[in-house]
Every structure is written in structure tokens, then in C-alpha cells.
Amino acid sequence: MKKADIYQFYARLAEDRPEPKTELDYVNPYTLLVAVALSAQATDVGVNKATKALFEMVTTPEQMLALGEERLKDHIKTVGLFNTKAKNVIRAAQILVDEHDGEVPADREALEALPGVGRKTANVVLNEAFGIPTIAVDTHIFRVSNRTGLAPGKTPLAVEKKLEKATPEDFKQHAHHWLILHGRYLCKARTPECWRCPVAEFCRFKPKTVAPKRASQKRAQNA
């Protein structure tokens, strides 16, 4: 994708969603960290349901340790891999208390050293909680970047590096959210909704999908 097209690509996404934000519910950086860790191989909707009551009781690592692993499991048992995730959340809480005075560090290396926290989770926390212009490449961003030609790559890390280089400074802070939401609601995995896409003219995906009614009409004409 050409540099000028990339700028317009983001400008259109920004116009479509002026104030993008994560769809995970959280209270502070710590609850965001927990929510993002729980969201691996789970939906944001499912995580929000599981953490609604939890975050009314627990908003700090100290409170999470007081809650304990078994009671945490009761709250998150509807989330996939909840046994492993509960264990990691408790271990991470202990490290935060022991090594970071109970605060979530605004540092990638320190975040990735926590159990259950990978590069993607660290990037989300750095971006959302601390305003650092990181781009966390999940399945949606990976798909959108490759499908559109914005930042093609064979691995999430390769895509992340290309996005960091290609994304104009004006859009770096919110690029992560724009791309995720675009992939979740328009550039869907099975059938991208090209007919209502604000950036279709810059996208390399072919052939573009047409609106359902138009598609049925086209089939009728060819019959």
C-alpha cells in the first residue's frame, strides 16, 4: 500500500471511529492487565461477563491474593482455560506485590516477565493504560494487515514491526484499536463486508464482496 494511501486509510478509520477504545471493561491498569490476560482465546463479551462481579471486589494485586486462586476460578470459570489463567493471575499478582510495590509497570520487559503475559497483552496494557503508541497484533489485526496490504507479514511480530514503520505518527496512538475494530466488525474472517467498508478503495483484497441483496440479484441475472 502506498504511503499516501496508508495515510488516507487511517484517516478514514479515524473518521469512522473518532474515539476508539478497548471493548474490555476495566477499572485501572491492574484490572486491565487481568482482563487482557483472560481474553486470550476468549471473547471480550465473555470476559466482561466473568469480570463484572470480580472487579467490584478486586482492583489491586493485594486484593487478588486475598481472594485466592479457588475463589478466582469461581468468577472466571466461564472463560476458556480458566484453570491455567487463574494460576497465572495469582502468580502475577504476587510478583507485582513483591517486585513492583503492587503497581503495574509501564515497561514491556517487566510486563512480559509476568506469568500469562505475552507481547500482545503487554502492548495492549502499554497502549490503553499508559498511552504508549504500541500495536498489539491479534488475529483481527493480522488478518486486516495482510488482507488489505497495509502491512503484510507471515508472523504477528513481522506484522507489528511493519505497522510500526508504516503507520503515520498522527495515527499511532489509536491504530491498534482502529484495526482491531475494523477486523471485528467489517473486515471479518469469513466474509469481509467490503460493500460498506470506508477504506475499500485502498484495500488490495480482490474480488471485493458485494452487499447480500446485490449478490442475490447478480446470481439471478446469471441464471
Model pTM score: 0.88
State residue 188's pLDDT score.
Answer: 95
Say whether pLDDT at 52 is over 80. Answer: yes
Per residue in 149-189, pLDDT tens? 999 999 999 999 999 999 999 999 999 999 999 999 999 99
State residue 19's pLDDT score.
Answer: 87
Per the CB < 8 A criterion, the answer to whether 48 and 25 are in contact is yes
Just list the catalytic residues: 120, 138
pLDDT over 70 percentage in the chain: 96
Please count the residues of the chain: 223
Span 5-28, average pLDDT: 94
DSSP state of 83: H
26 φ/ψ angles, rounded to the nearest 5 degrees: -155, 165
Q: Which three cell numbers stand for residue 114?
A: 509476568
Give every CB contact of residue 38 below 8 A, 6+ residues apart in sequence.
Answer: 47, 50, 51, 76, 79, 85, 89
In order of 38, 45, 82, 94, 198, the CA distances from 73 in angstroms are: 11, 18, 7, 17, 42
Per residue in 55-67, pLDDT tens? 999 999 999 999 9
